[in-house]
Structure 1
Amino acid sequence: MPASKAAIDVEQSLPSEDFKAVFRGHPSGVAVITADAGQGPVALTASSVASVSAEPPLLIFSVSALSSASPVLSRAETVVVHFLDVQDIDVAKLGAKSGIDRFAQAQTWTRLSTGETVYDGVRAWVRCEIVERIQAGESKVLIARALQSHIERDVQPGQPSDALVYHNRMWHHLDERSAIDHGIAM
């Protein structure tokens, strides 16, 4: 029976330490996700954001049950996904730090006319409607439909940018020196 229809047999799975070791060597883009389900905003830094479809515009991300933002993200109808570059490292660190108020004016933020919280000046953000939540092990995978976007610092196709990535438990900066081949399109 496919894993989606049956309980996953943990005993036959790859050990978690081996799984973590594989992903330590796999760089990911950095995003901060904000949400408010009525009791105040929450934020978390995520490296699990991925595009799923352009028609309709869908993205996914996962949230660990251990995250303090998890209860709010389980109820929120909308979120804002902030796509960060190296100029936004303070926002990335803010969302990754536990035990603090991420909206205590350490970083400036505003509310959209629709009520969602947005960190000011980030490279880009997308306001999304949560369309599905899927329990996946100790995490939830959220599928979101893009409703609105803002790009503060655009990235031109094939041109270098100041991408912020997370790799091997450290922040990294990708720029023109990190490109090894130009013209390969995915």
Structure 2
Amino acid sequence: MQATPPTRQIDGARFREVLGSYPTGVAIVTCTDEHGAPAGMVIGTFTSVSLDPPLIGYLPMKTSRTFARMRGSPTFCVNILAADQEAVCQHFASPAEDKFAGLAWHASPAGNPVLDGVVAWIDCDYASVTEVGDHYIVLGGVLGMQLERDTAPLLFFQRGYGRFSPGPLVAAAERETIEAVQLAEIGRDEMEAVATELNAECSIIAAVGGDVVYVAVENQSPYFRLRSRLGFRVPCAPPLGPLFVGSPGAPGDDEWLKRLGRPDQETIASALAQLERVRSRGWSIALQGAGEDENLDEMVALYSNPHRTPGQERRLLAAAKARAGLHEPAELLDHVSYDVRHLSVPVRDAGGQVLLVLRLSALPPAADLDRIRQWLARLQLSAARLEQTIAARREHCRAARLHA
């Protein structure tokens, strides 16, 4: 007599959190239903099962109406999504009635939809469908398959989408960082002079791989003895990094906004207004918030870890979004005191592209507008000197190469 398995009390949210720490690939299973219309659903459970005979598997929910509809077809096709197809995945996961509207696709040999741009597709028939808990286990017998693109697949991890970064890509990012550090070394004397003169922290930051990275730091502030920010990075996403937007190593306007996730129109309009103010002024300012600065710094430290998780990135972006009103205020008033978190100015090349940013932080509290203007003028003077030094250094290197 078979024993009845014990009842297990597992919290559903905790179950999803723990299992979400394991990354999965993302695919879309498609078919042509019994009425001849294309049908499809997103799955994150696709797996190879057997080589002899060739079998694959996936696990749809028993309550899935799309899967119930797809059972009317004798075959199905697994479309393995590419890393740049997150929008396709989101479209199929939406409540839209026609999931194929506006999407390019062609028929597989078995007559199932193959979405343009996928990494690969696999045609199958149903080897078996087994009920297990609140899901089915579907085993598919492979009928045919094809690699379509030599590119990285879309991954799902901790409720976020991303991609696998192979060694050469990581090495490229490291090279960009090294180049930024070498450029910052040219400005070290200016940075140290500003920090000493203003009794503040002065940093040189650069845009690398879509992030803003602290590549040189000098802290002479008697007000705040912060942990060293050297090597710290933050995502170039609203309201962060506006001086870099559109420059090498940083996202363009649209990509900058996309990192907000799914914002409402008011949030988008506010971010664009801040970006326009920064471009019009030619400098950037952020004010201190009420408390939780240590929590924010801890989030930045976690994000700066090369092994950060999507969850850590989401928390930092959410914290930045919550503090967006402290960035780039529309108006700074005379006879009002401000606690400035940081004040930043660009260092540009001869073509106007932002190479680096000089940033002042750890400043004395309760500064009036006149004092802020003095800080800004001193920072802009150093940025201008640094631009001249970099231009002269590059001209010297070009001349040396011509005569080599």
For Structure 1 versus Structure 2, the TM-score category normalised by the shorter chain is: 0.7 to 0.9
Determine whether 1:79 maps to 2:69: no
Match of 1:54 among 48, 51, 59: 51
Number of the residue aligned with 2:164 = 174
The separation in 1 between residues aligned to 2:127 and 2:83, in whole angstroms, is 30
Number of the residue aligned with 1:118 = 114
TM superposition shift of 1:135: 0.7
Number of the residue aligned with 1:184 = none
CA contact (8 A) 2:82 2:117 kept: no
The separation in 2 between residues aligned to 1:66 and 1:98, in whole angstroms, is 15
The separation in 1 between residues aligned to 2:9 and 2:38, in whole angstroms, is 36
The separation in 2 between residues aligned to 1:38 and 1:73, in whole angstroms, is 8
Match of 1:147 among 143, 146, 150: 143
Determine whether 1:70 maps to 2:67: yes
TM superposition shift of 1:13: 4.7
Number of the residue aligned with 1:45 = 42
Letter in 2 for 1:176: P
TM superposition shift of 1:123: 1.1
TM superposition shift of 1:93: 1.9
The separation in 2 between residues aligned to 1:75 and 1:136, in whole angstroms, is 21
CA RMSD of aligned residues (A): 2.2
TM superposition shift of 1:64: 1.1
TM-score (norm 2): 0.39
Letter in 1 for 2:156: Y
Letter in 1 for 2:53: P
CA contact (8 A) 2:106 2:116 kept: yes
Number of the residue aligned with 2:356 = none
Number of the residue aligned with 2:11 = 15
The separation in 1 between residues aligned to 2:154 and 2:107, in whole angstroms, is 25
Number of the residue aligned with 2:123 = 127
Determine whether 1:162 maps to 2:148: no
TM superposition shift of 1:124: 0.5
The separation in 1 between residues aligned to 2:99 and 2:90, in whole angstroms, is 10
**What secondary structure is seen at the aligned counterpart in 1 of 2:85?**
helix
Q: Alpha-carbon deviations, 1:101-120, whole Å to 9, x = none?
A: 1122x211122343212212
Change (3 A) 1:41 1:28: same
Change (3 A) 1:113 1:127: closer
Letter in 2 for 1:140: Y
Higher strand share: 1
Change (3 A) 1:110 1:91: same
**What secondary structure is seen at the aligned counterpart in 2 of 1:12?**
coil
The separation in 2 between residues aligned to 1:147 and 1:113, in whole angstroms, is 9
TM superposition shift of 1:121: 2.6
Number of the residue aligned with 1:158 = none
Higher helix share: 2
Identity %: 23
The separation in 2 between residues aligned to 1:176 and 1:111, in whole angstroms, is 32
Letter in 2 for 1:83: I
Higher relative CO (Cα under 8 Å, sequence separation at least 6) belongs to 1
Q: Which has the larger radius of gyration?
A: 2
TM superposition shift of 1:71: 0.9
TM-score (norm 1): 0.79
Question: Could you list the runs of 5+ residues in structure 2 that have no partner in the other structure?
Answer: 171-404
CA contact (8 A) 1:37 1:76 kept: yes
Change (3 A) 1:52 1:114: closer
Letter in 2 for 1:26: Y
CA contact (8 A) 1:37 1:77 kept: no
TM superposition shift of 1:15: 3.1
CA contact (8 A) 1:35 1:41 kept: yes
